[in-house]
Structure 1
């Protein structure tokens, strides 16, 4: 049997912790096109970015038309502004929506603008600790009501600036949604069919940091130490899953989030433990590689794990406890009317089956099995 060759890529240079925003003053370029939203402008972070660029003698043009779950219309509008600005630097500051939109604009520019032009240097500055988009080659764009997952090395940022002062004004609900999203990223990357020693290391550290610091941050967003730890954990999870891929928690989340316009992190939170039970075959032998790895996470967190089954159950219980502490709902029944949910099951299950995240799930699901998961989490 030939040896399987593992691959691990980290294209993005990273500057982390408070004060790292000043690294913008070291950039070299003529003009920066900044993709952001009105919130970043209101809190003054956009002006801070412009000030640093001005000190570097770099001109700026801003596009602040970003909305949550950016769609093809927003990307098209951004592309027009990008083309008019003719920048040699692209900067995204904001949550996952702003960074995903900037990636969509960059990708569209490569398809529709003179290909002889050099790709702009791409800088991502996350204002939430959740998506890890600042280091990934993933972008989620809404098209016709569906969430489309774009994956291309071309759109991975060249530089990520993790200055956690950018998240100190984030609403508590967003802290919770994005924090749980990080946990899902790390957990799915850890059991992915494409996981390696390198991605496992990132995922394990991410999970340790989250269980320790997310509850603290939930109680006090001004705790700068925990803010840095969670912000860094988000980035590490991004590095893990951009290399290892994700799984059906995300596939199911993309489908239901697109259908009912729910926060992505909240959808992931409501799906995670049922997906773990499915992947581990907890109702059967629990004798899978995924089950072994979930149990390893339980041991790492000093939870009971004398057997693989006990370890899986302990990890699931720890997630349930964390969710209770963070005030997350018990199921989609608290968010969606039952008839609307039932009427959408066939569509959502098929969409999840076709999602780009499904192939790297450790267990290949059928459409019926995906529907059963949706029924369990209602």
Structure 2
């Protein structure tokens, strides 16, 4: 038996930020990052808040938020006697706020505080998921947290917040969306609901990511990608993810490569591994994952007369999309040299197999499988 619940109320489209003006007499704990403060984008929040509210601004967020920052935030949240948490920023700000909320409840016996998530990038889907990723900077390890207690009550998706995102971040985060959707679709926990969400997200990415990359002021493309990120988040919140994220969490931290970019480099190789793709194999050799990938290819209008052809078409379409976005396709292009790969590869393989996302991968990997994927990523 599967249980599905969509907890967050969604406020979507241009003008969605106006929802904030409806809150009154709250002690608002606002989690954001230094860029939001320095750029003045945080004023999109302040300009909409009623004068009856009090605010505490926690802006110490950095990419891949470390445990120490989360701990600091928990103490500040408690001391302020918070009524409402608002997280505005990329995945790091929202993930940090989710972890703060969770630890405040579990460790300090705080009440369940209402939580609003406002993403300023179109990638993580964190505003509708029960996942958060925090880091141990000393060990270069990312820790995925999973708890429905972290789910926001509301999410505000306003395309005005993402139109100034640089093109390379648009590319990285957009490929993260695609990876979320594809992994959710082939997950061992996939069902009809997650399939529908994942399929729609994939179609939106292929249709609108190149447009958003080319012209950040294209608000139609920005809105569609913002929606795609949220939809893919719903999909993987139901079905979970797979080996792609299992490796990316560890390798991204070790090599200091942006999460979405690492996912994009991995994606063709993980698809071929899961499909057990071998040149010359026939229709009768296709496994469940290969058939599912072929279904994706068909839904995107790609050639897929059989599973083998569908897998090949999907991989080629992903590589073509990467080229359109001027993205690196190998670790070498990201500045990883052979010596660093040799030093890190075993610990990455071990960490990937322990990662919670890997548990729902459609094909059970071994350490040797991960090592082979890493070798292919290096100079494919």
Report the TM-score range of the alignment, normalised by the length of the smaller protein: over 0.9
- Corresponding residue number in structure 2 for 1:212: 207
Cα distance between partner residues in 2 of 1:42 and 1:21:
20
* Segment drifting more, 78-87 vs 124-133: 78-87
- Corresponding residue number in structure 2 for 1:121: 114
What SS does the corresponding residue of 1:147 show, helix, strand or coil?
Answer: strand
Segments of structure 2 that go 5 or more residues without pairing to the other structure are none
What SS does the corresponding residue of 1:277 show, helix, strand or coil?
Answer: helix
Q: CA offsets, 1:174-197, max 9 Å, x none?
A: 100000000000000000000010
Cα distance between partner residues in 1 of 2:155 and 2:144:
21
**Cα pair 1:50 1:60 within 8 Å, conserved:** no
**Cα pair 1:199 1:244 within 8 Å, conserved:** yes
Cα distance between partner residues in 1 of 2:140 and 2:341:
16
What SS does the corresponding residue of 1:45 show, helix, strand or coil?
Answer: coil
- Deviation for aligned residue 1:108: 1.5
- Corresponding residue number in structure 1 for 2:12: 16
What SS does the corresponding residue of 2:269 show, helix, strand or coil?
Answer: helix
Note if 1:338 corresponds to 2:338. Answer: yes
- Deviation for aligned residue 1:29: 4.9
Segments of structure 1 that go 5 or more residues without pairing to the other structure are none
Instruction: Choose the corresponding residue for 1:83, options 78, 102, 118.
Output: 78
- Corresponding residue number in structure 1 for 2:129: 136
- Deviation for aligned residue 1:41: 1.7
* Segment drifting more, 174-183 vs 326-335: 326-335
**Cα pair 2:23 2:50 within 8 Å, conserved:** no
- Deviation for aligned residue 1:337: 1.3
TM-score when normalising by structure 2: 0.95
Q: Which runs of 4+ in 1 moved over 4 A?
A: none
Note if 1:238 corresponds to 2:237. Answer: no
Counterparts of 1:152-231 in structure 2, within 5 Å, are 152-231=147-226
Counterparts of 1:229-268 in structure 2, within 5 Å, are 229-268=224-263
Q: CA offsets, 1:133-163, max 9 Å, x none?
A: 0000000000232000000000011100000
Question: How many residues are matched?
Answer: 371
Q: CA offsets, 1:194-213, max 9 Å, x none?
A: 00100000000000011010
TM-score when normalising by structure 1: 0.96
What RMSD, in angstroms, separates the aligned Cα atoms of the two structures? 1.2
- Deviation for aligned residue 1:258: 1.1
- Deviation for aligned residue 1:229: 0.2
- Deviation for aligned residue 1:24: 1.1
Q: CA offsets, 1:277-307, max 9 Å, x none?
A: 0111112565112111111111111111111
